[in-house]
RNA sequence: GGCGGGUUGGCGGAGAGGUUACGCAGCGGAUUGCAAAUCCGUGAAGACCGGUUCGAUUCCGGUACCCGCCUCCA
């Protein structure tokens, strides 16, 4: 069996991954707060952990892996959006979840095994909070319930900082009812205009971190294998999750492996909501950048390193996929992916090395050798060269018109009327259609700047 | 200030204490009505200063610079 090694943030080391139960490998990844379109930075963990999901399925069997990714549909940002627009909260979150699915599907990400919504687990959150209070790890104060960080000796272990260090940073919310400035909210009161649920502490709503602890416990148990997310969640989100879960379920180990992807940069700066330097996955798709291209670019950097999105890389990925698809038209995937590529992925998801291996295989194919079926199977393990990702960006009637122009041009070429052939090419090129001659045949595909409207220019 | 990550050829980006990464771009060639694609060949690196070693880009220490977290964030 393939040996998987993963860099565990909790130990800061690369460790051999041995699941608690090989018949049920369990992974939890923090999903989106659903109040807006996913930006490209949000897409990185989705694609990264999708690859891990695929690798785990490959190694342990598809039916032996459970992947949970939550939707946070209770949050003050959502409340703010609702208040600002007058729209119903459920309508906002339902719509946003629909967008999220559509956009992540376009990136070729498999749907997780389960996608729980926080609002369906309020009862479990309240139960966990009550349990933490009973165990002396949390206390109620002025309608709030707070987690007492000093009650958990290992607090700060994940992010490598002590409570004293954190307080020295001193940018925590000052609240008189906190016993320690680092204590964080498990439950907070809601006024009449704010969504709330009845609880032993009055009508209120959960704090940010408790949902993941409650849902992971409910769906994966007190001990599971992998917890993933962006490195910016390491503190405080994951630190707090650990504190809650470890104290509520001391019998369990919570997540054994913590995996964190580094940030996505734009012009060298982190893409983030607060900086406002973000664009959405939908923006790119609407510009004609296929989800598969986005995916290949995202996988071009190992997940543990920051990656810069650039237009150059987008163009390179486009050219690469064009060539690869041309090599394997009509080829069905073989039974097994390339061993060297699997080894690269098993070594802490070294996707750049895996892609390099694909390049080598493609080169062999271009030279007339190689194993096309194995190449396709290998690419599929990365979620690439999937028929569903090819993208039909050209409506059938437009495609028919292009086909007619291609045929007319072919006729002109065969009549050696090259002036006419070039005129037709110019029309197609102007509309962003790439035309490629190969002997007696010609193929075409929409380029990134494809615009059907310009096909109507006079010949 | 505390904690963490990084610095590889023109660009992107890996592995390995000693032997070609890989891709893009460039250059030379093949092919081509034109163009694209494709194929062949090819130059180019390891921030800086020390140390360990027969030998370091790879290990250790220091310096500089960059980035992230400590506040909603993937």
Domain with residue A99: its CATH number is 3.40.50.620
Residue nearest to nucleotide B33 (CA to C1'): A418
Structure tokens at A81: 């959006």
Decide if A87 is inside a domain: yes
Domain range for A274 is: 265-390
Cβ–Cβ < 8 Å for A2, A346:
yes
Domain-terminating residue out of A261, A287, A316 = A261
Q: How do residues A439-452 score in pLDDT, each as one tens digit?
A: 677 878 776 667 77
Number of domains in chain A: 3
- pLDDT for position A70: 96
Is A343 among the domain residues?
Answer: yes
- Distance, Å, A339 CA → B30 C1': 34
Are A288 and A429 members of one domain? no
Cα separation of A163 and A405, whole Å?
70
Query: Is A114 in the same domain as A188?
Result: yes
Instruction: Name the nucleotide with the smallest C1'–CA separation from A232.
Output: B69
Closest nt by CA–C1' to A434: B36
Q: Which nucleotide is nearest to A413 (CA to C1')?
A: B33
Mean pLDDT of chain A: 90
**C-alpha–C-alpha distance, residues A337 and A58, integer Å:** 9
A459 domain-assigned? no
Of the pLDDT bands very low, low, confident and very high (cuts 50, 70, 90), residue A267 is: confident
- Residue range A249-262: mean pLDDT, rounded: 94
Length of chain A, please? 459
Does residue A182 share a domain with residue A61?
yes
Measured CA A446 to C1' B5 distance, in angstroms: 40
What angle, 0 to 180 degrees and rounded to 10, lies between the N-to-C axes of helices A372-381 and A351-366?
Answer: 160
Distance A375 CA to B33 C1' (A): 35
Are residues A190 and A210 located together in one domain of the fold?
yes
Of A390, A414, A446, the last residue of a domain is A390
β-bridge partners, A229: A260
* Nucleotides of strand B within 7 Å of the protein's CB atoms: 1-6, 11-15, 21-25, 32-40, 66-74
A36 and A118 housed in the same domain: yes
Closest CA to the C1' of B69: that residue is: A232
Residue nearest to nucleotide B35 (CA to C1'): A436
Please tell me whether residues A317 and A174 are part of one structural domain. Answer: no
- Give the domain-ending residue among A372, A390, A408: A390
Strands A25-29 and A65-69: parallel
Q: Are residues A269 and A253 part of one domain?
A: no
What does each C-alpha distance from A396 to A206, A427, A459 come to in angstroms?
49, 19, 21
If asked whether residues A162 and A257 sit together in one domain, one would say yes
Mean pLDDT of A292-297: 94
A230 plus A182 within the same structural domain: yes
The reported pTM is 0.93
**Contacting residues for A27 by C-beta, under 8 A, at least 6 apart:** A49, A52, A53, A56, A65, A66, A67, A68, A224, A225, A226, A227, A228
**Between the CA of A323 and the C1' of B20, what is the distance in angstroms?**
23
Q: Does residue A318 fall inside a structural domain?
A: yes
From residue A205, give the alpha-carbon distance in Å to each of A133, A156, A177, A208, A240: 16, 25, 18, 10, 17
Residue A316 and residue A335 in one domain:
yes
Q: Residue A97's closest CA among A182, A38, A159, A181?
A: A38
Same domain, A77 and A198: yes
Q: Tokens 């290998």, residue?
A: A378
Distance A306 CA to B46 C1' (A): 19
Q: Which of A32-36, A49-53, A188-192, A386-390 has the lowest mean pLDDT?
A: A386-390
In a domain, A190, yes or no: yes
Q: How confident is the model at residue A181 (pLDDT cuts 50, 70, 90)?
A: confident
Q: What is the mean pLDDT of residues A231-251?
A: 94
Domain assignment of residue A151, yes or no: yes
Per DSSP, the residues of A84-115 read: HH---HHHHHHHHHHHHHHHHHHTTPPPPSB-
Q: Within a domain: residue A212?
A: yes
State, as a whole number of angstroms, the distance between the CA of A91 and the C1' of B5: 40
Closest nucleotide to A265 by C1' from CA: B67
- Predicted pLDDT of residue A459: 44
The verdict on A37 and A107 lying in the same domain is yes
Which nucleotide is the nearest neighbour of A166, by CA and C1'?
Answer: B70
CB atoms within 10 A of CB A340: 14
How far, in Å, is the CA of A262 from the C1' of nucleotide B62?
Answer: 27
- A313, closest nucleotide (Cα–C1'): B12
* Structure tokens belonging to residue A416: 């050696």
Going by pLDDT thresholds of 50, 70 and 90, the confidence category of residue A140 is very high
Alpha-carbon span A296 to A44, nearest angstrom:
11
A159 CA to B7 C1' distance (Å): 23
């Amino acid at each position: 069996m393939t040996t998987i090694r993963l860099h565990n943030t909790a130990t800061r080391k690369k460790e051999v991954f041995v699941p608690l139960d090989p018949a049920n490998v369990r992974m939890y990844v923090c999903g989106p707060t659903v109040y807006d379109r996913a930006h490209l930075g949000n897409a990185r963990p989705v694609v990264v952990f999708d690859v891990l999901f695929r690798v785990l399925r490959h190694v342990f069997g598809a039916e032996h892996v459970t992947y949970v990714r939550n939707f946070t549909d209770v949050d003050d940002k959502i409340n703010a959006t609702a208040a600002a627009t007058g729209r119903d909260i459920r309508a906002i979150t339902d719509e946003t979840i629909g967008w999220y699915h559509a956009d992540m599907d376009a990136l070729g990400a498999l749907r997780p095994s389960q996608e729980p919504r926080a609002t369906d687990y309020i009862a479990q959150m309240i139960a966990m909070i009550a349990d933490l209070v009973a165990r002396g790890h949390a206390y109620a104060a002025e309608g709030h319930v707070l987690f007492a960080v000093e009650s958990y000796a290992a607090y700060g272990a994940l992010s490598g900082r002590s409570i004293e260090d954190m307080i020295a940073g001193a940018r925590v919310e000052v609240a008189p009812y906190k016993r320690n400035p680092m204590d964080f909210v498990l439950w907070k009161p809601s006024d009449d205009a704010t969504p709330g649920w009845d609880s032993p502490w009055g009508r209120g709503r959960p704090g940010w971190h408790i949902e993941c602890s409650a849902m992971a416990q409910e769906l994966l148990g007190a001990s599971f294998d992998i917890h993933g997310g962006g490195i910016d969640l390491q503190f405080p989100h994951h630190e707090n999750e650990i504190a809650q879960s470890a104290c509520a379920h001391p019998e369990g180990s919570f997540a054994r492996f913590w995996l964190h992807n580094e940030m996505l940069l734009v012009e060298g700066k982190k893409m983030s909501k607060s900086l406002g330097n973000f664009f959405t996955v939908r923006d790119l798709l609407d510009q004609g950048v296929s989800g598969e291209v986005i995916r290949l670019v995202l996988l071009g950097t190992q997940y543990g390193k920051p990656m810069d999105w650039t237009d150059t890389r987008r163009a390179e990925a486009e050219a690469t996929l064009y060539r690869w698809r041309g090599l394997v038209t009509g080829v069905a995937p073989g039974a097994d992916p390339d061993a060297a590529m699997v080894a690269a992925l098993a070594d802490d998801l070294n996707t750049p090395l895996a892609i390099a291996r694909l390049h080598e295989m493609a080169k062999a194919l271009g030279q007339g050798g190689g194993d096309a079926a194995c190449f396709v199977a290998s690419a599929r393990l990365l979620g690439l060269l999937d028929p569903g990702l090819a993208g039909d960006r050209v409506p059938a009637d437009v495609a028919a018109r292009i086909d007619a122009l291609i045929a007319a041009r072919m006729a002109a070429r065969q009549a050696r009327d090259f002036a006419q052939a070039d005129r037709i090419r110019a029309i197609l090129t102007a509309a962003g259609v790439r035309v490629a001659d190969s002997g007696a045949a010609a193929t075409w595909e929409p380029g990134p700047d494809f615009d059907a409207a310009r096909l109507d220019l006079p010949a």
